[in-house]
Amino acid sequence: MKRPSRVAAGAVAAGTAVLASLLLFLWPRGSSSPALAAAVAGAASAATRPEGKAARGEIGALGPDADREKLVSYLRSHYGAHIREPYIQIKMLESLIGYFRVRDPEHWEQAVLDLVLAAFPDRYAEIAANLHRWVDYERWVAEHRSELNGLGEEQRRAAVWEERKRLFGDAAARNIWASELKGQTFADALQAIDAQGGTVSRKLAQYKESIEDIYQERSDDFTQRRQQELMDRFLDLESVQKDLSAESPEERARSLREIREGLGLSEEAIQRWAVLDGERDARWDAGARYMQEREALAKQLSGADLEARLKEVRSRHFGAEAGVIEQEEQGGFFRFTSPRRWGRN
């Protein structure tokens, strides 16, 4: 892809066209992980990087009439400790671009640069260069959106990384998009685990090993903060669901406990999940009986007569939830014809 010529920064569309809006569409279509898609869109998300904890919050929270001194103080307190990092510089610029594009669409770039100079004069040259790189990258993504969306996943990823490295350099690009790289490595590891054989226990062990390999010294903290997400991702693997389906109820209960325990859930939380599993099992058992009765009635009755009988059957099987089931069916959704996802529904 050839490099587009530079144009005046003011020609860039006004509005908060920040990192998330540029990257979310690049995530592979059909991805089974909204969480990972969010991780890609949040490649500069402060919450996913240890140094970013100081950078949480948005400059817009200061209000539209914040004076220069307050803005400079905010930048120094939120970004100053790690301003040498390309990731932190881009995170700061992302916030400033969104702030000034709304307030001064014609001169937002100069407003950003003036504030950067006041806050970090020693780093001004490199931050200004990163701003120009970011504007170029933003423009490139917008101009090649259709072309990128027409590529396969690997080709699209390669094209995007080629442009990032060309603009920012390999090391800086890897720093800025570190979370995306880890997210992709994690997705690849999940795919590999799903494709191989072995028991649920073996898959869980490899899952935990992958987390440790990818997040290293931060793996315990990562697991603790994302227990629910990690548990859901593992349970969403088709091979895990197949294994759980093949087990007896007692074996399945033990496997679900092992998964939750292995991902660090407390005993209290594990017990709550066990209770929920029992409630779900009872609901699905009732759903199976209901669908059998429904099918039999549909062969005998129709119209208002059928609906009246189904109302009675739904009330008998589902009690207070019968009305919800009825509304779903009126909309064409029959929940008990959907696949059972152990530990998920």
- Mind listing the pLDDT tens digit for each residue in 97-156? 999 998 889 999 999 999 999 999 999 999 999 999 999 999 999 999 999 999 999 999
Helix and strand element counts for the chain (H, E): 18, 0
Q: Token pair of 22, please?
A: 């540029």
Predicted local confidence at residue 40, as pLDDT:
34
Whether pLDDT at 255 is above 80: yes
Whether pLDDT at 325 is above 70: yes
Residue 78, classified by CB atoms within 10 Å of its CB into exposed (0-12), middle (13-18) or buried (19+), is buried
Predicted local confidence at residue 343, as pLDDT:
98
pTM of the model: 0.75
Instruction: Categorize the per-residue pLDDT at 344 as very low, low, confident or very high, splitting at 50, 70 and 90.
Output: very high
- Mind listing the pLDDT tens digit for each residue in 74-84? 999 999 999 99
Task: Please give the average per-residue pLDDT across 147-174, as a whole number.
Answer: 96
2/14 Cα distance (integer angstroms)? 25
Instruction: Categorize the per-residue pLDDT at 3 as very low, low, confident or very high, splitting at 50, 70 and 90.
Output: very low
Number of Cβ within 10 Å of residue 56's Cβ equals 11
- Mind listing the pLDDT tens digit for each residue in 17-75? 334 434 433 433 333 333 333 333 333 333 333 333 333 347 777 766 678 899 999 99
Q: Token pair of 229, please?
A: 């997400």
Instruction: Categorize the per-residue pLDDT at 197 as very low, low, confident or very high, splitting at 50, 70 and 90.
Output: confident
Predicted local confidence at residue 47, as pLDDT:
31
- Percent of the chain having pLDDT more than 70? 82
Amino acid identity, residue 46?
Answer: A
Predicted local confidence at residue 48, as pLDDT:
33
Predicted local confidence at residue 64, as pLDDT:
60
Task: Please give the average per-residue pLDDT across 213-225, as a whole number.
Answer: 95
Using alpha carbons, select from 61, 34, 36, 58 the residue that is nearest to residue 48: 36
Number of Cβ within 10 Å of residue 242's Cβ equals 12
Domain regions of the chain by residue span: 9-183, 196-265, 268-345
35/182 Cα distance (integer angstroms)? 13
